A and B are shown apart, each in its own frame.
Chain A
Amino acid sequence: MTTSRIPARERAAWQTIDSGQLLLIATAGLFVVVAVTQVAAVGLHQPNVAIIFGVLIALGELFRMVMPGNREVAPIASAGAMGYALLVGVGPEGAPPDAPLGVVPAEHSALQVVAVTAVGMLVGSLPHIAVGRTPRPDAMARRLFTVAVIALCFRPVLGLDLAWYLLLAVMGVVVIGSCFTDVLIAAMIRAETVRARFGIALRDEISAKMALCAATSATAMLIAVATTAMGEAALLIFTVPILVTQFAFRRYAGIRATYLETVRALSRVTEVGGYVEAGHSRRVARLAVAMGRELGMTEEELLELEYAALMHDIGQLSLGDPIPGGATVLASPAEQRRIAELGAEVIKQTGVLDRVAHIVQLSSHPYRAGREPVGDSGERPIPPPLAGRIIKVANAYDDLVGDSADRDRGAAVLERLRLDSAAEYDPAVVEALSRVLDRRPRP
């Protein structure tokens, strides 16, 4: 979520493209070239319908949005393009009496669908480029690819002259299939860019996108059926459901982003109060999220981890005076524990972040809090949750290294953490830290 953006700030957009993305973009590009050439050769079928759908797609691209997890989506454009791919006819007006379904059949080919979609997307992206927002070629390629899959699967079926209900069933199957294609491609790209495992990336993608995918697909079918049955005028009012959906999701994404922004900003109160070094909370959060991803945490867990990492020092506000240097790693275990308890207390006040509070509370505990059995029952104390162990390591590293970019110092601190691991720190987490540090670009 955050880590994926960090290198992007330093390098140009095209430099961050991985091989998988490149393959996808190249495939989509090839599709577009073939489609545009073919359409140019044989001419546009039913140009007025093509133009109306093209305009809808362009508008949808204009109003694309970014969902939590930095995922770019354009529900209106996707629904429009998919609706065009699924279009059976263009309304009853002027239909010959013996026409199948009583409507004028839609004559456009799968390649025309790809061409119209590509042109619409391009036109819709121009205003974005004009105001200096770089387009995301991989997201656009993925959307185009999904539409192309639907068009290539569905257009040939039209030749069979099926009845309404069969057509609807085929539409449903094709649309669901395309949803899975979309999620699969997105997960593959994501696994590569943020270095998550494919299985986890797939699960994240499904939970993040399934609802929107279902809404988009249903509207696509709605648009196709309505335009077929009632002509182009229906297209206008039948986009209403997806407009409402887009509005709702945009609001949701906006509030999610605001929430994170607020916690990030307010985590700095400890810095302004002189309790910790400048930038400490953010550096710990960034490091912790990278380590959590390395250790295979899901996106939801990563969000909680990030919140906990940002607020892990908030308990210091209740201390009278800052501890020297602000480094909790140098404070006595009892004091560390007290800060964590106080912090957890503050976070519990929110009433909604109980799990985050739990993580903060246990982040001060050593990895093996006395492995010898406690009490008569012979129960061993449970080690702190993974998120707590990660924060403990990330905090210790940042306390000892600070803002310094000196690699030798980093290596020495890592060595020290390794020596303390097994008792104080979880060895697996320390190794994850070492891998994350190895990947950092050299200054």
Chain B
Amino acid sequence: MRGLPLAAWAYVCGVVALAAGLIATSSFAELDWSKLAVLALLFLVCDSAPARLNIARARVSLSFAASLASVVLLGPVGAALLGLVAVVTGQRFFAPVKRIFNGAQFALSGFIAGTVFDLLGGARFHPEQARWVENVIGPFLGALVTFVLVNLTLMGGVLLLSRQTTPREWLHESGQLAVGCLGYGMVGLLIAGLWPRVGPFAAVLVLLPLFIARWAMDQAYAQQQAHAATLAALCQAVETKDFYTRGHSERVSRGSVMIAQEIGMRADRVEAIRYAGMLHDVGKLGVPTKVLQKSGALTEEEFAAIQLHPMRGLEIVREIGFLDEALAGIMHHHEKMNGRGYPMGLAGDEIPEFARVISVADAFDSMTSTRSYRAARSIEEAVAELRRGMGDHFDPEMVEAFLRALDREGWEPPRPVVLPDDAVAETTQQDHDDPSRPLRVTGGDEVRHQ
């Protein structure tokens, strides 16, 4: 936090001063200190084990539940005091200034939410009265939304002022965060409702399932990572045979994701295309090694063997249920817009969107990689080749999207291949992905270009 801009420092000091002022001027006469102490303990326990979301730097913790419970049980002043506990949170790697700011913003959020709850009339009802849930749910929702909004706004303020995020990014992320915060905040009502009957035991009953759910989510996350790693390793194994194509699937996967994000695909489809890109060439294993190693023109049969590889790939991955739309991408990634591709000869919009995306990334990586018959081409040359193929071979929309993403994010081409000297090294002479040097097929007398 040392390199904070002046504006951010001023902002942080302002928030802290405001919180300190509010608390200093409040009266603590009616506060139930023992209840506050128990809730504070609960807050600490929850805050020290925050849940992982799919956003790397932000975490939502169950401490929201404790805060919202305190809004109902203790009122604005109690909620503000409880927020201060965030200063001594058990989360690691928190610089002192972050801790203080965090405490201040929780205190402010709690105070404002508590005030809203009182204004909406929530404080008039008591959990032991009849119809408490029905009466209190409205004011509680008001307080909950206020709490989350104030919290996210204060947080966003410091991130924006210290230039750690852009407004667009923040809006996108806080949208996802808000769902988690609202859900956990809702739990506060459950704790508050049961408190008069069973005391802190209410928290145990409510939070135990949630902690177990969190544990299961962590397990799921670990499995997901393991799954992705395994998939990548197996794809790599398929490539090891050929020195020149190592890392090809990884890079095609990256390129496809760049295009998919650029054309605004939904997150789950982007995920699917990541796998499709990785697996697009697995069927190449079914092509006999001698065909790939042959230099010079191929016979019709040999060319047919190469043309079959998308189908062989599909055969392997067909049973992987989650791939779903990605299967079409794998099968058709060698179709051309003019209908002269393979295996089905689809044209234009008949070609599945995934296939049109992968096709561009595939060709680009092939051109920017070293091949046995030529050195790697420069990015400019490859871009020119893609432009030449627009409309005929590639979908112009996808090429444009790729070029935009390329401008923004750049591309790291593979390092030049250095072949080891022993005879084990296998290289191929044929690259079916390279649009700048189509496979040559001998058909009768003349040499046909495919």
Contacts and interface: CB of A to CB of B under 8 A. Distances in A.
Interface string A162-198: 0011001000000000000000000000000000000
Contacts of A251: 216-217, 220
Interface of A: 91-94, 102, 164-165, 168, 211-212, 214-216, 218-219, 221-222, 225-226, 229-231, 233-234, 237-238, 240-242, 244-245, 247-249, 251-252, 254-256, 258-259, 261-266, 268-269, 272-274, 314, 317-318, 320-321, 346-347, 349-353
Contact of B316 (A229, A245, A252, A269): A269
Contacts of B113: none
A261 B318 CA distance: 10
Interface stretch (B131-139, B343-351, B397-405): B131-139
4 A-B pairs with least C-beta separation: A93-B130, A273-B285, A349-B233, A241-B209
Interface residues of B, number: 67
Contacts of A346: 233-234, 236-237, 240
B433 to A, nearest CB: 19
B320 interface: yes
Contacts of B137: 237
Given A241-B210, A244-B210, 7 more contacts: A218-B205, A222-B190, A229-B127, A261-B320, A314-B237, A317-B240, A350-B226
B321 interface: yes
Contacts of A265: 316-320
B450 interface: no
15 contacts: A212-B212, A231-B130, A231-B133, A234-B133, A258-B321, A259-B230, A263-B234, A266-B234, A272-B283, A272-B315, A317-B285, A318-B237, A349-B236, A350-B230, A353-B230
A212 B212 CA distance: 8
Chain B interface main SS type: helix
Contacts of A216: 209
A233 B131 contact: yes
Contacts of B320: 258, 261-262, 265
Interface string B325-349: 0000000000000000000000000
B312 A272 contact: yes
A176 B305 CA distance: 63
Interface stretch (B9-17, B42-50, B93-101, B194-202): B194-202
B233 A211 contact: no
Contacts of B217: 248, 251-252
A229 B209 contact: no
Nearest to A235: B133
A120 B6 CA distance: 63
A314 B216 contact: no
B419 to A, nearest CB: 15
Contact of A164 (B197, B282, B285, B424): B197
B363 interface: no
Contacts of B202: 225
Nearest to B222: A352
Most A-side CB within 10 Å, residue of B134, B183, B224, B234: B234
A350 B134 CA distance: 53
Contacts of B315: 268, 272
B436 interface: no
Contacts of B220: 248, 251-252, 254-255
A233 B133 contact: yes
A350 B233 CA distance: 5
A238 B224 contact: no
Nearest to B134: A233
A414 to B, nearest CB: 31
Given A214-B212, A346-B237, A349-B236, A164 B198 contact: yes
